[in-house]
Amino acid sequence: MNKKVIITAALAGSWVFKNQNPAVPYTPSEFAEEAAKAYKSGAAVVHVHARQPDDGFPTAKLEFVKPIYDAIKQQTPELIVQISSSVGASYDERIAPIIEIKPEMSSLNTNTMNFGMIDRKKGTVIVDNVFVNTFTMLQDFGRTMEELKIKPEIEIYDIGGLDNWFLISKQGFFSTQYNFNFVWGVAGGYRFRPITFASLVDMLPDNSNFTTCGVGLDQFPAITQSCLMGGHMRVGLEDNIRIPNGELAKGSWEQVEWAVKIASCLGREPATPDEARAILGIAKI
Length of the chain measured in residues: 285
Instruction: Count the domains in the chain.
Output: 1
Residue 17: the pLDDT is 96
Nearest to 64 by CA among 46, 82, 47, 48: 48
Give the Å distances, CA to CA, from 242 to 25, 29, 191: 15, 22, 19
Helix (H, G, I), strand (E, B) or coil at 89: coil
Reported as a single tens digit per residue, the pLDDT across 149-208 is: 999 999 999 999 999 999 999 999 999 999 999 999 999 999 999 999 999 999 999 999
Q: Which of 85-89, 161-165, 224-228 has the lowest mean pLDDT?
A: 85-89
Q: Is residue 143 part of a domain?
A: yes
Q: In which band, very low, low, confident or very high, does the pLDDT at 228 lie, cut at 50, 70 and 90?
A: very high
Residue 52 pLDDT level (bands cut at 50, 70, 90): very high
Is 124 a member of any domain? Answer: yes
C-alpha distances out from residue 284 to 78, 104, 274, 278, 279, Å: 10, 10, 6, 7, 11
| Residues ≥6 apart with Cβ < 8 Å to 58 | 13, 14, 49, 50, 51, 52, 87
Q: Is residue 42 part of a domain?
A: yes
Compute and round to an integer the Cα radius of gyration of the chain. Answer: 17
Number of neighbours of residue 90 by Cβ within 10 angstroms = 10
Q: Is the pLDDT of residue 5 over 90?
A: yes
pLDDT in tens, 98-139: 999 999 999 999 999 999 888 888 999 999 999 999 999 999
Domain span at residue 81 reads 4-280
- Parallel, antiparallel, or unpaired for β 117-118 and 125-127? antiparallel
Residue 116 lies inside a defined structural domain of this protein: yes
The string of pLDDT tens digits covering residues 260-273 is 999 999 999 999 99
Q: Would you state the pLDDT for residue 285?
A: 60
DSSP string, 27-87: SHHHHHHHHHHHHHHT-SEEEE--B-TTT--B---HHHHHHHHHHHHHH-TTSEEEE-S--
Asked whether residue 27 is domain-assigned, the answer is yes
Q: For residue 32, tell me if it sits in a domain.
A: yes
What's the CATH number where 88 sits? 3.20.20.70
> What pLDDT, on the 0 to 100 scale, is given for residue 15?
87
